[in-house]
Chains A and B, each alone.
Chain A
Amino acid sequence: MLYRTAGQFKTSYAADHALFPVRQDAWLLGVIMVLAWVVFPLAASDFTFQALLIPVLIYSLAALGLNILTGYAGQLSLGTGAFMGVGAYACYKIMTIFPGLNLAVAIGLSGFFSAAVGVAFGLPSLRIKGFYLAIATLAAQFFLVWLFEKWSWLYNDSASGAIQVPNLSMFGLGVAGPTATSITQYYFVLAVVSLVTIAAINITRGRIGRMWKAVRDMDIAAELVGINLMKAKLSAFAVSSYIVGVAGALFVFLWRGAAEPNLFDIPLSFRVLFIAIIGGLGSVLGNYLGAILIVALPVILNIVPEALGIPVSSSVVEHLNVMTIGGLIIMFLIVEPHGLARFWAMIREKMIIWPFPH
């Protein structure tokens, strides 16, 4: 009943191109923004920040990057974890070489390194597609993780082979390293994720987004309407890897605090891919829904039995988690290949026409 579009007339194409042609959507987003910027930070405990809020945001961002490549441009990638690693190591090296640099700038720059690496490994997409391309990106995954391990310059020749985030501050507030508080880290991540999301929405609904979707839906026809396939595919790899790289830098600097090469191994790639698939390929919103589900699930499985007084060992929780995620993925592939985002779209459509069935 609240969801009525009646009376909302557009009188210009600019109004029709607005982000929220339906007023209620803007209100809904406003509520979510208030929750994210005011309510959660006030209410959350340290545990909530570290176990739920920050990882949800970072995983959403990584999934958004992958979604641009796979969901919008139709190029399957299994190397997301490694591209996140490129972003993280690039940020680490930038901060080592220029210790006084603002962390936000360093993270923004590190995305360009992963974008370059992404384009390089995206070159095979000009010749091959589908599973064969997935295998090519898998090669990137193995090669890069091997490189993170063997190229000691990347981790400043430290004996452990790991990178350790130093104490870094911005405007007098600790944002990274052991002394940083969760709430500043949360705001930092939230700001970056919000900006990148706005940019991603704008790109995907304009000329470049149409180009990507055309290549995804039918590459031959795309070429015959004058779309240069090489530009379309490589730009998708560049933008996607940039976002994934930024997510990787946030992942290490604002959340984990330290990283070993195997952190970026294939399980991370799959985790991000699952978020994108469960959330919905070809949607921006889906990444958030998917990340909430994937990140929150183990936490809920941990907390709920405990709260109910049922003794469950942590290994059981681990198994339950894996089983549930596996089951969910199979369910989504069968029931709704477009994921959670499509569920929301359907609910929204129903609400608009309620109480009529169509």
Chain B
Amino acid sequence: MSAHHDAHHDIALARNDGLKPGDVLLDIRNVSLAFGGVKAITDVSFDIRKGEIRAIIGPNGAGKTSMLNVINGFYTPQEGVIVFRGRERRAMKPHDAVAQGIARTFQNVALFKGMSTLDNIMAGRSVFMKESLFWQMLWRGRALKEEIAHREKVEEIIDFLEIQHIRRTPVGRLPYGLQKRVELGRALAMEPSLLLLDEPMAGMNLEEKEDMSRFIIDVNRQRGTTIALIEHDMGVVMDLSDRVVVLDYGKKIADDVPEKVKANKQVIDAYLGVAH
């Protein structure tokens, strides 16, 4: 076990962005997002610090997934600014976000169903692979060298997530829990400095949840990857996260360490409902 962990320790997967743990990696300032007349997010501000696990929680329809979509450039907010690694940005394309080091997983698994586990994770390395059509055609020299170099990285992830046995299986045939794990693998292959996880444990049984929690902690501690996660299982959220931001009806109602959030009156009201 320890040899296994050491092997991963020296993979400097987290990008060198010149930030120290605890510095602000992503700062969301007064962001508002609306779809026509429907306000999904209203004037929300919070930050994500390097090296932490940041949970975003809230009841259904609170705007959590919309928030992730804003962070990775899928939606452009009407108001507010997002500062990532000290640089302000407003409109961007999702593949730009990837190039900057933001990777994510989805609430409903969004894998490439016809491709094997290996190919899915290899696809996560597309941003790093450059060899031209000419070399690809020959499958010799540079293209093969590149392919093998990235295959080695991918195999490290496969070992890390303990999915060696399904390497060649088309992911469409895998059970849900494993699909979630492959999706995490694909996101890790992008070597993100910020990893967004949208309900990584939805629909899992206890054992699968334990495995996934272990992977999330390992990713955070060994690779130094900053994680923002949305999760409904409060036990998991409270155990895993360093800080929790709570959204309700698109507004921020709390932002604190897990113990304080748990005791927050507004949060309890939002979750349990309150008689007006």
* A residues in contact (CB < 8 Å) with B: 13-14, 16-17, 199, 202-203, 205-208, 210-211, 213-214, 216-218, 220-228, 235, 239, 282
Contacts and interface: CB of A to CB of B under 8 A. Distances in A.
B67 interface: no
Given A202-B137, A207-B136, A221 B110 contact: yes
B92 interface: no
Contacts of A224: 72, 74, 94-95, 98, 104, 110
A203 B126 contact: no
A213 B112 contact: yes
Contact of A217 (B115, B122, B124): B115
Nearest to B149: A13
Contact of A214 (B106, B112, B136): B112
Contact of A13 (B104, B106, B152): B152
Contact of B119 (A202, A210, A220, A222): A210
A210 B74 contact: no
Given A217-B115, A223-B94, A227-B123, A206 B147 contact: yes
Given A13-B152, A218-B110, A239 B133 contact: yes
Interface centre among A17, A205, A207, A220 (most CB of B within 10 A): A207
A221 B105 CA distance: 9
Interface in B152-169: 152, 155
Contacts of A227: 95, 123, 126
Contacts of A208: 133, 136
Given A218-B111, A223-B93, 6 more contacts: A13-B152, A207-B136, A222-B112, A224-B74, A225-B103, A225-B124
Contacts of B113: 217-218
A202 B126 contact: no
A235 B146 CA distance: 20
Contacts of A214: 112, 115, 123, 126
B139 A206 contact: yes
Given A13-B152, A210-B126, A225 B98 contact: yes
B126 A221 contact: no
Given A221-B112, A222-B112, A203 B136 contact: yes
B268 interface: no
Contacts of A17: 144, 147-148, 151
A332 B251 CA distance: 53
B131 A207 contact: yes
A202 B74 contact: no
B62 interface: no
B148 A13 contact: yes
B95 A235 contact: no
Contacts of A228: 95
Contacts of B11: none
B147 A217 contact: no
B121 to A, nearest CB: 10
A217 B112 contact: yes
A213 B151 CA distance: 18
Contacts of A207: 126, 129, 131, 136, 143, 146-147
Nearest to B96: A226
Contacts of A13: 148, 151-152, 155
Nearest to B189: A225
Contact of A223 (B95, B119, B133, B148): B95
Nearest to A203: B136
Given A208-B136, A213-B119, A218 B112 contact: yes
Residue of B113, B126, B146 with most chain A CB atoms under a 10 A cut-off: B126
Contacts of B104: 224
A207 to B, nearest CB: 5
A216 B98 CA distance: 20
B12 interface: no
A226 B133 contact: no
Contacts of B190: 225-226
6 contacts: A14-B148, A16-B151, A208-B133, A217-B113, A225-B98, A225-B186
Nearest to A282: B114
A216 B144 CA distance: 24
Contacts of A223: 93-95
B99 interface: yes
B138 interface: yes
B127 interface: yes
Interface in B251-272: none
What are the 5 closest A-B residue pairs judged by CB atoms, nearest first?
Answer: A226-B98, A217-B112, A202-B139, A226-B127, A221-B110
Contacts of B98: 224-226
A126 to B, nearest CB: 13
A20 B126 CA distance: 24
Given A210-B126, A228-B95, A216 B114 contact: yes
Given A17-B151, A225-B126, A210 B136 contact: no
Contacts of A202: 136-139, 143
A210 B137 contact: no
